[in-house]
Amino acid sequence: MPHEVTRSLPTTAALQAFESAAFHLSITRAAKELHLSQGAISRQIQALEQHLGIELFHRERQRIRLSPAGQRYLEHVRAAFDRLEGAALELRAVRRGGGTLHLAILPTYGTKWLIPRFPSFAAENPGVQVQFSTKLQPFDFATEDLDAAIHYGEAQWPGAVLEKLMDEQVRVVCSAGYKKQAKLREPGDLGAAVLLQISSRPYGWDDWLAAKGLSGIDGRRGPRFEHHTMVLQAAIAGLGVAVLPTFVVDDELAAGRVVEAFPDTLVRTGKAYWLAVPAGRAEMPALQAFRAWLVREHAEGSPGRMVDRP
């Protein structure tokens, strides 16, 4: 037996009348815009107020102004109209072989890895529009208007299928001037160095020290920064030593803006970057095109292992 849902919704005509009157703050102009009489606009708004049980406008002689409730409701109405319009445009794009992909990305991954390579995807898929949002932590796809996300860490995301993109590798870097100043020659010299910290990776230094088998060094001391890019700039400025992913520092190393603090700093952290896709959206044409391109860019013809998490 099909599940029936009864919704208590106002008519589209009433919402259009309200939105137009709220925009113009005039019944007369709303009537002209919608090709209706002033009486019809007024009746639609009154019916909407009766439906909601609250006054949306303050009437002052021949003028109207939004009530506080009306101002808040207007935001919801406009957002709903925008989403309906967006859905219509997306369906038309799908019919033409394109579509819109709403993607959540990590700030540094997006800035340093994805965006510089993205023109090739756009050239291959001119009918696909990708809208980027920033998300630092896993979220519930059921409550977000997002189709996929780039995830860092372990293979864990409830309600999503994860596909590995790349294992994370990090290097320890600093400016040439700071290396000379701090007399950095080997890992043990970090005990007297300023360790630049990343707020989102509170155990970054501890993990690196453990991978190198070092003890007796406090890996959590030092100034803290919010993002990788801020830490990178701090290292370039000579404020201390940073442990950063290779895709963040490789270009800076090649350009000489930073140097490795000492030989053999490369460490595989055991964590990885993943493409997370919620159940039920994997068949979206736009997402399929993006996934194929992303996997190819990360590893030539070598997709990561699929991990399903309930």
pLDDT beyond 80 at 98: no
Q: Mean pLDDT over all residues of the chain?
A: 88
> Which residue, 272, 274, 280, is CA-closest to 159?
280
Lowest pLDDT segment from 52-56, 76-80, 300-304: 300-304
Q: What is the pLDDT of residue 102?
A: 92
Q: Which residue has the higher pLDDT, 86 or 111?
A: 111
Q: What is the pLDDT of residue 61?
A: 79
Between CA 66 and CA 55 the distance in angstroms is: 9
Q: What is the pLDDT of residues 71-85, one digit of tens each?
A: 999 999 988 887 777
Contacts by 287-294 with C-beta closer than 8 Å and gap 24+? 287/101, 287/147, 287/148, 289/121, 289/124, 289/125, 289/128, 290/101, 290/103, 290/121, 290/125, 290/128, 290/130, 290/148, 291/148, 291/163, 293/120, 293/121, 293/124, 293/125, 294/121, 294/165
Q: What is the pLDDT of residue 86?
A: 65
pLDDT beyond 80 at 4: no
Predicted model pTM: 0.67
Domains of the chain, first to last = 12-93 (1.10.10.10), 97-166+271-309 (3.40.190.10), 167-268 (3.40.190.10)
Lowest pLDDT segment from 142-151, 216-225, 234-243: 142-151
pLDDT beyond 80 at 309: no
